[in-house]
A = this chain, B = another copy of it.
Amino acid sequence: MTVTIKDVAKKAGVSPSTVSRVLSNHPRISKETSQKVKEIVEELGYHSNIMARGLISNKTYTLGMVLPRPAEELFQNHFFSESIRGITTQASRQGYDVLMTAGSSEQDEVEAVTRLVKGRRVDGIILLQSRKNDPIISFLQKEAFPFILIGHYGSEDILCVDNDNEQASYDATVHLISQGHERIGFVSGPTNLTVSEDRLKGYQKALSEHGLRMEPDWIVEGEFLQESGYRAMAFFMNLPERPTALVVIDDIVTFGVLRGLTELGYKVPDDLSLVSFNNIALSELSSPPLSSVDIGIYQLGYMASQLLIRHIDEDKPQQLRTIVPHKLIVRESSVNLRRNWS
């Protein structure tokens, strides 16, 4: 039923070995033979069986990926789809496919990865999130299996693509300072993600460099959910002395802040100025449009594939950490009109 290499060989009047060589562009093969075999291949619609080939070469031309768990993922619909699009597009271009698994718990995830690695189902793994103390990373390190992390893992020597999140957050904060703000708050994400930590650092650095007050009450931790923004907003607006501007970890969270403010009759940016991260499509459409740091999510995914594949092929990566540039997009939510127009 399925066309095998034998069928092609028979029809072409050569041996299977020869067909195989033609298909892999072996140098020492005569032009006529090559041509003839290729014709037959076309005619019969032959495609080599990936299993059989992989069994020998120990290559699958597949990159593995673990889908974030619902609990953690909710937030990042945008990050998720954009990075996957980047990963898959680039992988396809280089002749790789992308395999996804999901786990419903951390242990599930580790098991899924183990299965992929030990079962030789993929040639490398892409991790979409950098969590602290990630057992998946320990496992992959132990196995010396090729992988790349979007983000970073402390300062360990692993292959990764990342933004300079500290700098990005610093830039966002300095922008607010330049708009005349002196009381600036920070709405963070889950503390077990390195990105939360990095952005907090950048924020603090900006404040301290400009001699501004750092108030513990002005830093709130949450998740990548609108609810978190809503709650943070409620908290801030009830403080006796409240910030006049916020740096927010994610656009989605900012939508929550915005909604709360609107309900209470506050105005953005007059009563509270906002800058956040990701620059999702809707941030431009909200009213007012949101200032946001574009972190190049598609490019993060794209680079992840590219670097991982290079690592798989060449073994020794020249450079472990690659930084994707960010860009602050200033929109109404953080522009103090009165100052600008004076």
Spell out A's residues near B (CB within 8 Å).
2-3, 45-52, 54-55, 60, 62, 67, 70, 73, 77-78, 80-82, 84-85, 88-89, 91-92, 97-104, 112, 114-116, 118-121, 226, 252, 255-256, 258-259, 262, 281-282, 285-287
Docked Cα-Cα span, A49 to B262, in Å, equals: 57
A102's partner among B2, B49, B89, B115 (CB-CB below 8 A) is: B89
Docked Cα-Cα span, A252 to B101, in Å, equals: 29
A120's partner among B2, B73, B101, B256 (CB-CB below 8 A) is: B2
A67's partner among B51, B78, B85, B112 (CB-CB below 8 A) is: B85
Q: Which residue of B lies closest to A92 (CB)?
A: B102
Residues of B within 8 A of A115 (CB): 47
Residues of B within 8 A of A78 (CB): 77
A285 near B2 (CB under 8 angstroms)?
no
B51 near A120 (CB under 8 angstroms)?
yes
Nearest-neighbour CB distance to chain B for A329, whole angstroms, equals: 16
A99-B98 contact given A55-B52, A112-B92, A255-B285, CB 8 Å threshold: yes
Nearest-neighbour CB distance to chain B for A50, whole angstroms, equals: 4
A60-B70 contact given A92-B102, A101-B97, CB 8 Å threshold: no
Docked Cα-Cα span, A315 to B30, in Å, equals: 45
Residues of B within 8 A of A102 (CB): 85, 88-89, 91-92
Residues of B within 8 A of A46 (CB): 118
Docked Cα-Cα span, A73 to B103, in Å, equals: 26
Residues of B within 8 A of A255 (CB): 282, 285
A100-B98 contact given A77-B81, A119-B50, A120-B51, CB 8 Å threshold: yes
Specify how many copies of this chain sit in the oligomer.
2
B55 near A70 (CB under 8 angstroms)?
no
A50 near B285 (CB under 8 angstroms)?
no
Docked Cα-Cα span, A116 to B207, in Å, equals: 54
Residues of B within 8 A of A281 (CB): 77, 226, 252
Nearest-neighbour CB distance to chain B for A2, whole angstroms, equals: 7
A50's partner among B84, B120, B262 (CB-CB below 8 A) is: B120
Nearest-neighbour CB distance to chain B for A79, whole angstroms, equals: 10
Nearest-neighbour CB distance to chain B for A304, whole angstroms, equals: 14
Residues of B within 8 A of A48 (CB): 119
Docked Cα-Cα span, A49 to B104, in Å, equals: 24
Nearest-neighbour CB distance to chain B for A66, whole angstroms, equals: 10
Closest 8 CB pairs between A and B? A47-B118, A81-B81, A92-B102, A51-B54, A51-B55, A50-B119, A88-B102, A98-B100
Can you report 7 A-B residue pairs in the complex whose CB atoms are below 8 A from each other?
Answer: A50-B119, A52-B55, A62-B99, A80-B81, A91-B102, A97-B101, A98-B100
